[in-house]
Amino acid sequence: MVALLESYKDRVEKINEYIMRSLEVVENKNLKAAMAHYPQAGGKRLRPLLATISCEAVGGRWSAAMPFGAALELVHNFTLVHDDVMDNDETRRGIKTVHTQYGVPEAILAGDALFARAFELIPDSDTHDDRLVQLVDIIAKAVRLLAEGQQMDMDFEDRKTVKDTEYMKMIELKTAVLYSAAAQGGAVIGESSEQEEEALREYGRLVGLGFQIWDDVLDLTSDQKTFGKPVLNDIRNGKKTLIVISALEDLHGKEREDLFKALGNKKATPDQLVAAKDVLDRAGAIDHAIEIANGLVKGAKDKLSVLKDTKHKKCLESFADYTVTRKT
């Protein structure tokens, strides 16, 4: 699976160059530094990769979709900057968050400017004007839905219980729409048929859902060194993930107590956190989530049946598998 990312190393390098070059237009030094803080810290660039591979899978050139893919990456980074302000997080993957380093006003502004810059990049995508207009619509709608998802996530924090269907809706908005936009937009740029575009849109959505559930799993089953960020964070923050939701349906007595000792308790001890994780594990909730993630990814791969058999289609299959087998 790592082989997949390895095979796109050169492409990721070109995407990174394009992204960093796109920020050079910013004149104000403070603003530019705050905008570049996350993009220059690296990342797997999964959304640009998905956009460019989708473009190839319908017969297009990958580079035609690079500006659109970079726009998605800037949008992703803009949401990270603003989410970190909203969540008061001090670090992200080992570096200071933008607002911790540059201040809250600067972080709000840097996010806004990354968002604006993303829309400036779209017209650089190599396709016809009617398709460029469609790409604008795809990204704008995705960001509006992302905001709905983030608001839903915040609303959940104030609630005692959340249903699994509500959780699925939330991660669809907060995570899956951008993967869906990446795959659909790549197809649009590659001049796909409507059937292919629809299939890739749905593929991206299912992959995005699987990605997020797998992220919840990794938070519980990985270690900080492998995961690249602190683990058991979702328990500490009281996140009502699918794992917690499904466990709560069955848990009683001491086990339920053990979970609630740690869930949403910012001062929970490492022992309490591990005890809560063990409760979730013994309840079968982690395995249940893994099964669901695998089912989503299988569904995603099934959607690809309308595409011609090419190496790019195989890469999309590997991409889907990667989202629910990755260690980081």
272 belongs to the binding site for a second copy (CB under 8 A) = no
Question: Which is nearer to a second copy, 31 or 306 (by Cβ)?
Answer: 31
Tokens at 225, concatenated:
């060194």
133 belongs to the binding site for a second copy (CB under 8 A) = yes
Question: Which is nearer to a second copy, 2 or 104 (by Cβ)?
Answer: 104
Question: Which is nearer to a second copy, 85 or 279 (by Cβ)?
Answer: 85
Residue 223 backbone class (left: φ over 0; alpha: ψ -120 to 50; beta: rest): beta
Sign of the alpha-carbon torsion through 145, 219, 221, 266: negative
140 belongs to the binding site for a second copy (CB under 8 A) = yes
Min dist. Cβ of residue 191 to a second copy (A): 15
Q: How wide is the angle at C-alpha 299 spanned by C-alphas 293 and 300, nearest 5°?
A: 90
136 belongs to the binding site for a second copy (CB under 8 A) = yes
137 belongs to the binding site for a second copy (CB under 8 A) = yes
Within residues 96-115, the interface with a second copy by CB under 8 A covers 104-106, 108-113, 115
Min dist. Cβ of residue 321 to a second copy (A): 32
- The span of 142-150, 228-236, 258-266, 269-277 binding a second copy (CB under 8 A) equals 142-150
Question: Which is nearer to a second copy, 119 or 260 (by Cβ)?
Answer: 119
33 belongs to the binding site for a second copy (CB under 8 A) = no
Backbone angles phi, psi at 26, to 5 degrees: -75, 125
Question: Which is nearer to a second copy, 17 or 137 (by Cβ)?
Answer: 137
Give the CA distances from residue 44 to residues 111, 132, 159, 242, 261, in Å, rounded to whole numbers and listed in that order. Answer: 20, 25, 34, 25, 35
Min dist. Cβ of residue 140 to a second copy (A): 4
Residues that bind a second copy (CB under 8 A): 25-28, 30-31, 78-79, 82, 85-87, 104-106, 108-113, 115-120, 122-123, 128-130, 132-133, 136-137, 139-141, 143-144, 146-148, 150-152, 154-155
